[in-house]
Amino acid sequence: QVQLQESGPGLMKPSGTLSLTCAVSGGSISSSNWWSWVRQPPGKGLEWIGEIYHSGSSTYNPSLKSRVTISVDKSENHFSLKLTSVTAADTAVYYCARLSPADYMAFDIWGQGTMVTVSS
Amino acid sequence: EIVLTQSPGTLSLSPGERATLSCRASQSFSSNYLAWYLQKPGQAPRLLIYGASSRATGIPDRFSGSGSGTDFTLTISRLEPEDFAVYYCQQYGSSPVTFGQGTKVEIK
């Protein structure tokens, strides 16, 4: 059974670059699925950040596109998120999730989430 | 961008009652790409329904989804104690992927 696990710093200073990694276990990142990042500010709803295929093809939310890079490492079976120039508005729980074409591109598997706080 | 508007914001019901949640889109898209999720405090969302009406693996049949075009509905036929949570709809019919703002189902 595929599982996802996020890792990264819990606290960051404004203007820095957020880097998170999502480890994929129990399956291959080279399967016919897309891999995505979703975030949730405290007490608020869900926001899609972007997605990537194992080929490296990626799509980003236009609201974040200028600051976001998602990459995939097939040898390590993980994918990563980089978000530059962070501010307090980027404080959120960050989830990695699998998008399943078999489920009409629904997020069928989620990581447990990692809280990132941006504060000076 | 497709905006998904969920209503009501909060639904106060008792266990055993029927819950009807609405998700309305700002423009039409393929209903194949509409999903529903349940989220409990401190947990990641969990997929309930995909393709507007198909239950995800392990989801009990008291959960059902329907709708097309711009109007979609999630129905919980008889609320169990573990169903009290926040529910989100999500679309992949048009980029960017968007979520509704959520409906909280609380115990009356």
Q: What is the pLDDT of residues B44-93, one digit of tens each?
A: 999 999 999 999 999 999 999 999 999 999 999 999 999 999 999 999 98
Show residues of chain A in contact with B96, CB under 8 Å.
Answer: 48, 59, 61-63
Give the model's confidence band at B5: pLDDT under 50 very low, under 70 low, under 90 confident, else very high. very high
Distance CA A6, CA A101 (A): 22
Nearest CA to A45 among B103, B79, B73, B21? B103
CA A89, CA B75: separation in Å to the nearest integer? 34
Burial class of residue A23 (count of CB atoms within 10 Å of its CB; 0-12, 13-18, 19+): middle
Inter-chain touch B50–A106, beta carbons under 8 Å: yes
pLDDT at A27 over 80: yes
State how far residue A74 is from chain B, nearest Cα, in angstroms: 25
Task: Indicate the average pLDDT of chain B.
Answer: 96
Whole-angstrom distance, CA of residue B92 vs CA of residue B95: 7
* Averaged confidence pLDDT in chain A: 96
Count of beta carbons in the 10 Å neighbourhood of residue A95: 24
pLDDT (average), residues B14-24: 98
Judge whether B99 is closer than 8 Å to chain A, CB to CB: yes
Q: Is the pLDDT of residue B104 over 80?
A: yes
pLDDT for position B11: 97
Q: Is the pLDDT score of A35 beyond 80? A: yes
Contact A55, A35 (CB under 8 A): no
Given a cut of 80, whether residue B31 has pLDDT beyond it is no
Least CB–CB distance from B96: residue in A62, A105, A107: A62
Q: What is the pLDDT of residue B95?
A: 85
- Provide the pLDDT for residue B26: 96
The closest CB to that of A113, out of B37, B44, B92, belongs to B44
**pLDDT of the residue at A70:** 98
Say whether B47 and A103 touch across the interface (CB within 8 A): yes
pLDDT of residue A2: 96
Taking any CB pair shorter than 8 Å as contact, residues of chain A touching chain B are 36, 45-48, 51, 59, 61-63, 95, 97, 99-100, 103-108, 110-113
| B14 near A CB under 8 A | no
pLDDT confidence of residue B62: 98
Nearest to A110 among B44, B98, B99 (CB): B44
Nearest CA to B86 out of B11, B31, B4, B2 is that of: B11
Q: What is the mean pLDDT of residues A22-46?
A: 96
Determine what percent of chain B is predicted with pLDDT higher than 90.
Answer: 91
Dihedral sign for Cα atoms in the order A24, A26, A30, A34: negative
pLDDT of residue B38: 98
A chain contacts of residue B92, beta-carbon cutoff 8 Å: 99, 104-106
Asked if the C-beta of B37 comes within 8 angstroms of chain A's C-beta atoms, the answer is: yes
pLDDT category at A103 given cuts 50, 70, 90 is confident
Query: What is the identity of the amino acid at B22?
Result: S
How many angstroms away from the CA of B91 is the closest CA of chain A? 8
Confidence of residue A91 (pLDDT cuts 50, 70, 90): very high
Kindly report the nearest CA distance between residue A42 and chain B, in angstroms: 10
- Three-state secondary structure call for residue A90: helix
